[in-house]
Amino acid sequence: MKTIDLRSDTVTQPTEAMRVAMMAAPLGDDVFGDDPTVNALQNRIAAITGKAAALFMPSGTQSNLCGILAHCGRGDEYIVGQLAHTYRYEGGGAAVFGSVQPQPLTQDAQGRMALADIAAAIKPDDPHFARTRLLCLENTWNGHVMPDDYLREATALARQQGLATHLDGARVFNAAVASAAPGQGAHARVREIADHFDSLSVCFSKGLGAPVGSALCGSQELIQSARRIRKMAGGGLRQAGLLAACALHALDHHVDRLADDHANARRLAEGLSGIEGLTVKSAETNIVFVDVADSRGPALLDFLKANGVLATGLIGLRFVTHLDVDAAGIDHAIATVRRFFAETSAVPAGAARTGPY
């Protein structure tokens, strides 16, 4: 039985064509700036995002870290969502490695911090306060596309107050494909989103299906500074063109097909709706969040696993679609969830099993 792995869009295997591109890539030592494939990727993603320069990174975490540390110094502060990846899921790296203080703010269900909260969190120049330097947003956030109006208003507010702006765009290609105007290409739409920001980080290793890699995009000056920080962080790679070739292949072949992942996420959401005890919370791009009303969530995950379907349960049940899952796999996942709810009964509220019985 083939496993339907919906834990994340990071689980994809490189396609045969991607492996061929990898084997054919001309290589050099990228710490000397000599790797032609890395240089081609950096030029390509800089052009797509409309930034002067870009830097290939081993991971999105390192890309965000180098971005934040290039914008902020010791004793500076960045404003970020309470549930944003850079704040919550990156080990506190900006504080640990950069002595940069995060100022987390509450987000709404779409991931937006209120503009009034952002304005109130920007500190005056006073020795009591950290220096507020940077606003960091995320798009998509938990699969939600940030509306353009919000991106415009939040970044304009930051700029008026002298702050720089950074986008954690790990899934910005998903945002672009989901929100492009009719006839508008995904690359043009990425550019539109990126235009609001001084810098952005994009992942090639998520929906785009490359095995490894992200890029930080920004001004020449910012990227020069980030290159120094990346080296300190141990991220200076040598014949990294092997990996960059996969990312280039992904940009050529795996962007428009993100629409298939979004369609599969909708198919899953529709298939799961109407099951008693289950609430489908959202499915705007390639991530479907599901709430299980009673305490059957962990048992459902186990049942799915026993039947060849993997999902995660960190913040509610999460299913992520990607290029290694097709509609038949989605239908199997739906049928398995339905079977679970047909075969088990709700545990009464307050009677959840917490200890050995």
Ligand X SMILES: *Cc1c(COP(=O)(O)O)cnc(C)c1O
- Our finding on whether 205 is near ligand X (CB under 6 A) is yes
Q: Which of residues 56-95 bind ligand X (CB under 6 A)?
A: 59-61, 64, 85
Nearest distance, CB of residue 213 and ligand X, angstroms: 8
Q: Which is nearer to ligand X, 100 or 334 (CB)?
A: 100
Nearest distance, CB of residue 202 and ligand X, angstroms: 10
Stretch that binds ligand X, among 36-44, 54-62, 125-133, 271-279 (CB under 6 A): 54-62
Q: Which is nearer to ligand X, 211 or 271 (CB)?
A: 211
Closest CA to 323 of 242, 214, 210, 197: 210
Closest CA to 291 of 308, 272, 310: 272
Distances (CA, A) of 32 to 22, 39, 45, 239, 348: 21, 11, 20, 10, 63
A 10 A CB-CB count for 91 gives 11
Nearest distance, CB of residue 14 and ligand X, angstroms: 16
Of the chain, the end-to-end C-alpha distance in Å amounts to 33
Tell me phi and psi for residue 333, to 5 degrees.
-65, -45
Q: Choose which of 46, 202, 203, 226 interacts with ligand X (CB under 6 A).
A: 203
Tell me phi and psi for residue 135, to 5 degrees.
-110, 130
Q: Choose which of 5, 30, 77, 138 interacts with ligand X (CB under 6 A).
A: 138
Nearest distance, CB of residue 48 and ligand X, angstroms: 18
Residue 174, SS3 per DSSP: helix
Nearest distance, CB of residue 246 and ligand X, angstroms: 14
CA-based angle 8:189:18, to the nearest 5?
A: 50
- CB contact at 8 A, 292 and 278: yes
Which residue, judged by CB position, is nearest to ligand X in the bound state? 60
Nearest distance, CB of residue 107 and ligand X, angstroms: 13
Q: Which of residues 155-174 bind ligand X (CB under 6 A)?
A: 168, 170
Q: Contact positions toward ligand X, by CB under 6 A?
A: 59-61, 64, 85, 138, 168, 170, 203, 205, 214
